[in-house]
Amino acid sequence: MDGPEVLNPKNWPTPKGYANGMLAEGRLLVTGGIIGWDETENLAEDFVSQGRQIFENIRAILAEGGAEPRHLVRLTWYVVDIEEYLANLRDLGRAYREVFGAHFPAMALVQVVRLVEKKARLEIEATAIVPTAKVQQVHT
């Protein structure tokens, strides 16, 4: 198995934009809470731009560990305003697909009072499973 398997119990509707569960073999790769700033710590201005930068940042971390977006098994989103998230869902989804493709791992979305960086509108933690063969290639 090179990538995770989507788990959806029989007779459940197929979720849109996320998976109910994922099954994978390999080495665990986790990120901290990633926000929408670039390598010089300049924070993107608006919600969707911050989201796109977060996706790019996660993709860069995955690459460091020999993984790709298709190896993601979970994303936990923290937003300061769920209404802002819902209002930007279409554009955010487009940015997600442009960076990660059509791979939708298990996801959770949580509204929080604020994030450490006051101007950050969202933060995402990512979990990926790197296939063992990929890990060996990166470290040899």
Instruction: Evaluate whether residue 18 is within a structural domain.
Output: no
Instruction: Evaluate whether residue 92 is within a structural domain.
Output: yes
User: How far, in Å, CA of 44 to CA of 26, rounded?
Assistant: 34
Instruction: Evaluate whether residue 8 is within a structural domain.
Output: no
CATH number (domain holding residue 121): 3.30.1330.40
Instruction: Evaluate whether residue 7 is within a structural domain.
Output: no
pLDDT (average), residues 36-52:
96
Residue indicated by tokens 């509707």: 13
Domain extent for 109 = 26-138
The total number of structural domains that make up the chain: 1
Which of the four pLDDT bands, split at 50, 70 and 90, describes residue 132?
Answer: confident
User: How far, in Å, CA of 103 to CA of 6, rounded?
Assistant: 10
pLDDT at site 135: 47
Tens digits of residue pLDDT in 13-26: 988 888 888 888 89
Nearest to 92 by CA among 57, 46, 41: 46
Tens digits of residue pLDDT in 83-125: 999 999 999 999 999 999 999 999 999 999 999 999 999 999 9
**Res. 1: pLDDT tops 80:** no
Instruction: Evaluate whether residue 101 is within a structural domain.
Output: yes
Instruction: Evaluate whether residue 108 is within a structural domain.
Output: yes
pLDDT-above-70 percentage for the chain: 93
Element (H, E) at 70: none
Instruction: Evaluate whether residue 98 is within a structural domain.
Output: yes
Instruction: Evaluate whether residue 11 is within a structural domain.
Output: no
